[in-house]
Amino acid sequence: MVHAQFDPTAREALAAKAVEAKTVKNLSWRQIADASGLSVAFTTAAVLGQHPLPEESAKAVAELLGLDDDAAMLLQTIPVRGSMPNRIPTDPTMYRFYEMLQVYGTTLKALVHEEFGDGIISAINFRLDVKKVADPEGGERAVITLDGKYLPTKPF
């Protein structure tokens, strides 16, 4: 049976335990994702409390992290989503994403609507990828791909 959370605190506590176990066991998110059989982005989001994992994935992740059966069950519940409880994040990395949306949000909206029309980009039918690439000018660059299905607004 599918269960949903109505209070984020249980998944937040589990996320803290999972991250502690990840650290103690010196595991990467890639290793945890490999155990789950799902993508790194989805698995990481799930372990951090933003998605439910399928039963087999939840059991595999819990076993790898040394978490109990209750944790495996909780990993399968539909969470209360939203990883930034405050409106403006204070963590520098998260703040930069917020800053990007503050600067480019209206541009993204204008370009999406010009290209597709009135509608939204789904965060449900969605893929996320993060890659590190060499910068031709020296150093490294982060390439972040947000790939969501376009859903047009339908008059009713």
Domain-ending residue, one of 45, 76, 107 = 76
Looking at residue 36, what is its pLDDT? 98
What residues are annotated to the active site? 96, 99, 122
| pLDDT profile of the chain (156 residues), mean per 10 | 88 96 97 97 95 97 98 96 82 92 91 94 94 97 96 90
Least Cα distance to 40 among 57, 23, 20 occurs for 57
- For the record, the structure tokens of 47 come out as 């372990």
Same domain, 23 and 50: yes
Residues 128 and 45: their CA atoms lie apart, in Å, by 10
For residue 120, give the CATH number of its domain: 3.30.1160.10
Domain-ending residue, one of 17, 44, 76 = 76
Same domain, 69 and 13: yes
Same domain, 54 and 99: no
Looking at residue 83, what is its pLDDT? 77
Answer yes or no: is 29 within a domain.
yes
Number of domains in the chain: 2
Least Cα distance to 45 among 15, 73, 8 occurs for 15
Same domain, 61 and 107: no
Answer yes or no: is 87 within a domain.
no
Looking at residue 122, what is its pLDDT? 94
Domain-ending residue, one of 52, 76, 100 = 76
Same domain, 72 and 104: no
- Strand segments (E) across the chain: 119-134, 140-152
Q: How many helices (H) and strands (E) does the chain have?
A: 6, 2
User: What residues contact 146, with CB distance under 8 A and at least 6 apart?
Assistant: 121, 126, 128
Instruction: Indicate the pTM of the whole model.
Output: 0.84
Q: The domain containing residue 144 runs over which residues?
A: 92-152
3-state secondary structure of 23: helix
Answer yes or no: is 23 within a domain.
yes
